Amino acid sequence: MTGTPISTSRSGPLSGLRIIELSGIGPGPFCGMMLADMGAEVIRVDRPGGNPVAETGHEVLFRNRRSISLNLKHPDGVAALLKLCESADGLFEGYRPGVTERLGIGPQDCMARNPKLVYGRMTGWGQDGPLAQAAGHDINYIALSGALHAMGRRGDKPLPPLNLVGDFGGGGMMLAFGMVCALLEAQRSGQGQVIDSAMTEGAAALMAMFYGLNGKGQFSNGRGGHMLDTGAHFYEVYETADGGYISVGSIEPQFYALLCDKAGLDADTFGVQMDPARWPQQQEQLAAIFRQRSRDEWCALMEGTDICFAPVLDLNEAPQHPHNRARGSFVEVAGITQHAPTPRFSRSAAATPEAARPPGTDTRAVLQDAGFDEASIARLLESGAAAQL
């Protein structure tokens, strides 16, 4: 085995749970990272000859778990995975509907070996419906959910928020929530179940408040006209004299009054806060005011007050901010600065993250833990059904 053995009993609220992750990219690894960060033993199943982790750009997403390489197109590789399911609490995959069934590792196959197994499935469109078999990406899923249409500035086209809303929020995070829910239920019922997690529906769930506002006629069907979508001058991002940016979110009257005081805003222009007809002019004048000083100068004046203010930091600056440093919000693992496990727990604290493992690093150890003897492991390796780095 290459490298230092990774812990199989990490601390955290999910410690003691064993989860099998059929490796993919993006939202699937994000789900695995969340579960592993919280102490679950997550075993990543990679294909033999899979891309080194460093080449996928997934080092952070793949942290905290062991990797076994199995050829799931080889009958012995399938048999090995099914044996792993016997001692697992859960398994999750992110393939198109029907793929795992064709491989012989679908829910019925795996749960026949372990009726208490929780089987998580994540796709963009869901397991059924007219689009279930169509290809897609985050931008398509949030488009169908109604989320993408709502994001952007007045008079401009919808603006994708990276792939945060579909892949990670509505996908990986929602699947992790579903896995924990089903694992809790299995402890009571003694039975597993299948989770159908669709990114379209997860993204729609993230839009719950706005669907509620829309139902009351309180959310514009356009963009850039609502208090929270850059329509209001008091909830906006502004450029500063040095080319930096600051964020202002002074919604409540007392916070807005403090903004007016600190920024020296005149009452004739800014005295009325909640008149949408005035917002464009107020926004334009406030932008001119914020361009008069540097970002650091505005921070010195406003940061830490009840204005609801923060500088807009890039990925190199954010870990160095005094607040983030004081809380230990970021850690460095294998030379990469990344977020510390979150949320935090008063008693069952999560451990410091461990670096991602190359595919197949732990094949032999995982098989041994599952009860394979040395002769069986040797046959799997010789046949190509499994691979050890």
Distances from the Cα of 281 to the Cαs of 222, 284, 287, in angstroms? 19, 5, 10
Confidence of residue 5 (pLDDT cuts 50, 70, 90): low
pLDDT at 2: 39
74 is catalytic: no
pLDDT at 298: 98
Among the listed residues 375, 363, 366, the one whose alpha carbon sits nearest the alpha carbon of residue 47: 363
Domain assignment present for residue 58? The answer is yes
- Of 61-65, 123-127, 133-137, 221-225, the range with the lowest mean pLDDT is 221-225
Domain assignment present for residue 222? The answer is no
What does the pLDDT look like over 38-94, one tens digit per residue? 999 999 999 998 766 666 778 999 999 999 999 999 999 999 999 999 999 999 999
Query: Are 274 and 347 contained in the same domain?
Result: no
Domain assignment present for residue 71? The answer is yes
The number of beta carbons lying within 10 Å of the beta carbon of residue 75 is 12
323 is catalytic: no
Confidence of residue 200 (pLDDT cuts 50, 70, 90): very high
Mean pLDDT computed over 175-180:
98
Domain assignment present for residue 136? The answer is yes
Q: What does 9-63 look like in DSSP terms, one character per residue?
A: S--STTTT-EEEEE--STHHHHHHHHHHHTT-EEEEEEPTTPPPHHHHT-TTTTT
- Whole-number Å distance between alpha carbons of 241 and 190: 62
Query: Are 290 and 360 contained in the same domain?
Result: no
- Whole-number Å distance between alpha carbons of 65 and 30: 12
Query: Are 32 and 119 contained in the same domain?
Result: yes
- In sign, the C-alpha dihedral spanning 71, 73, 77, 80 is positive
Taking phi first (over 0 means left), then psi (-120 to 50 degrees means alpha), and beta for anything else, what does residue 12 get? left
Query: Are 305 and 345 contained in the same domain?
Result: no
Is the pTM of the predicted complex or chain greater than 0.75?
A: yes
Query: Are 44 and 183 contained in the same domain?
Result: yes
3-state secondary structure of 339: strand
What does the pLDDT look like over 316-374, one tens digit per residue? 999 999 999 999 999 999 999 999 999 999 999 999 999 999 999 999 999 999 999 99
Query: Are 124 and 175 contained in the same domain?
Result: yes
Query: Are 52 and 196 contained in the same domain?
Result: yes
Query: Are 143 and 186 contained in the same domain?
Result: yes
Query: Are 304 and 195 contained in the same domain?
Result: no
Query: Are 56 and 105 contained in the same domain?
Result: yes
Confidence of residue 1 (pLDDT cuts 50, 70, 90): very low
CATH of the domain at 278: 3.30.1540.10
Query: Are 156 and 298 contained in the same domain?
Result: no
Domain assignment present for residue 4? The answer is no
Q: From the candidates 74, 76, 109, 137, which is the catalytic residue? A: 137
Domain assignment present for residue 10? The answer is no
DSSP classification of residue 389: -
pLDDT > 90 in the chain, percent: 93
What is the domain extent for residue 293?
A: 235-239+245-311
| Of 311, 342, 366, the domain-final residue | 311
Q: From the candidates 37, 138, 167, 229, which is the catalytic residue? A: 167
- Whole-number Å distance between alpha carbons of 287 and 291: 6
Among the listed residues 180, 83, 178, the one whose alpha carbon sits nearest the alpha carbon of residue 122: 178
Query: Are 364 and 277 contained in the same domain?
Result: no
What does the pLDDT look like over 274-312, one tens digit per residue? 999 999 999 999 999 999 999 999 999 999 999 999 999
